[in-house]
Amino acid sequence: MEQRVSLITLGVDDLEAAATFYEAMGWQRVNSPDGVIAFDLIGQTLGLYPLAALAGEIGMDIATLGRGAMTLSHNCRSKDDVADILHRAKAAGATILKPASDVFWGGHHGYFQAPDGTIWEIAFNPFSPLGPDGSFRWNGY
């Protein structure tokens, strides 16, 4: 696993209200599919995602996931890398929450929970290829 965070996903109750806050802070949205609002950062992206949808996607209920929920995402260079990193995480003591699988929007991902409780998404997004240095942008470079 390369030493970087690609996408920070915040689980929020009200997607538009959360987006309005970040826009008031001077951030600008980038084009993204329905159901997620994205803001490109320097080398990363902040994604806002409905809390209930995030809990369902991971396979947890909202009470277990908690408020202020977020996931750290590590985007991979290939689909095969997702399972490899999940295997390595499990070997290092993580709990696999969702094994590597295809996603309805065309990507491939899985989730693990680190021993400290942090939830990580390991993903391959064919629509957002990584830069040569591993940097991530929502719509690619």
Does the pLDDT of residue 35 top 90, yes or no?
A: no
pLDDT at 68 over 80: no
pLDDT recorded at residue 67: 75
Q: Tens of pLDDT along 39-64? A: 999 888 999 999 999 999 999 988 88
Q: What is the DSSP string of 31-51?
A: ---TT-EEEE-SSSEEEEEEH
Residue 134 CB coordination number (10 Å)? 15
| Domain 7-124 in CATH 3.10.180.10 | yes
pLDDT at 117 exceeding the cut of 90: no
What is the mean predicted confidence (pLDDT) over 95-112? 96
Hey, where are the domains in the chain?
7-124
Place 6 in a pLDDT band, splitting at 50, 70 and 90: very high
**Encoding tokens for residue 18?**
């959360």
pLDDT in tens, 14-30: 999 999 989 998 899 99
Question: Are the beta carbons of 49 and 10 closer than 8 angstroms?
Answer: yes
